[in-house]
Amino acid sequence: MEQNEKILLCAKKLKESKKVFVITGAGISAESGIPTFRGKDGYWKNNSPQKLASPEGFAENPKLVWEWYDYRRTLIKDCEPNPAHYVLSDIEKKLTQFMIATQNVDGLHQRAGSNNVVEIHGSIWEIKCTEENKIEKNTEAPLKELPPKCSCGALMRPNVVWFGETLPEIQLMKIYNFIKSGDVDFTFVIGTSALFYYIIDWAQIAKQSGSFLVEINLDNTTISSIADVVFLDKAGLILPEIYNHL
């Protein structure tokens, strides 16, 4: 199918949809200037996920882990949502049932005005006491003290999900409740390498219950083979094109 036909088909399907589910990953924020993890200049090309994003890495060298998170927080703070984030926020305003399940911790969906955002890997703008598990919002970047400490004296950690940790139960329940009712009309999978089993699971559940499934990514992923339409292009180009035909 030609790109233009795909755009028109997606716009038609979206217009007919009452309930829309969106899965996003680092690729949707790439055009805002935030590096991805596994792309050409991705974080995991030159850094070790075990050292920077695991409980063991944090126990071994909390300062190193915090330096990386502080660097990312400082970078993200100066980045703006891009047209892909804004189009999703505009689509939500037209619908009563809409959810974004994001693996991103950057908060750009919310800054673009999206409301029903489920952050499955946590938020880089929250910090958590390693003793009391108390969570605080914190947007100071760069931080004055690395690693930051709680008033109780214990180390604070970023409130994000690291390798080897389980996903937050409440967020997972929200997603499964949304998709398992079987009435999702339209699903987008945008800018994720879809390497985690739960991403494939969510897309499959939606698809099996009749949802139209659209992937937007620079490369093919495991989602591509089950998607109804695949755009091998930038999210910040494709989403506005679809939206212009709504």
Decide whether 103 or 211 has the Cβ nearer to ligand OAD: 103
Any contact of residue 32 with ligand OAD (CB under 6 A)?
A: no
The first and second tokens of residue 48, run together, are 């070790």
DSSP class of residue 161 equals: P
Query: Quick one: three-class SS letters along 10-37?
Result: HHHHHHCCCEEEEEECCHHHHCCCCCCC
Q: Among 37-45, 92-100, 167-175, 179-187, which window interacts with ligand OAD (CB under 6 A)?
A: 37-45
Site for ligand OAD in 112-171 (CB under 6 A): 121, 161-163
* Binding residue for ligand OAD, selected from 6, 20, 25, 130, defined by CB under 6 A: 25
Residue of 26, 129, 156, 205 interacting with ligand OAD (CB under 6 A)? 26
Residue 50: CB atoms within 10 Å? 13
Size of the residue set binding ligand OAD (CB under 6 A): 28
DSSP code, position 170: H
Between the CA of residue 181 and those of 42, 128, 222, what are the distances in Å?
36, 33, 24
Place of tokens 């088909």: 9
**85 part of the active site:** no
List the catalytic residues: 121
- Give the residues lining the site for ligand OAD (CB under 6 A): 25-27, 30-31, 36-39, 42, 49, 53, 103, 121, 161-163, 191-193, 216-219, 221, 234-236
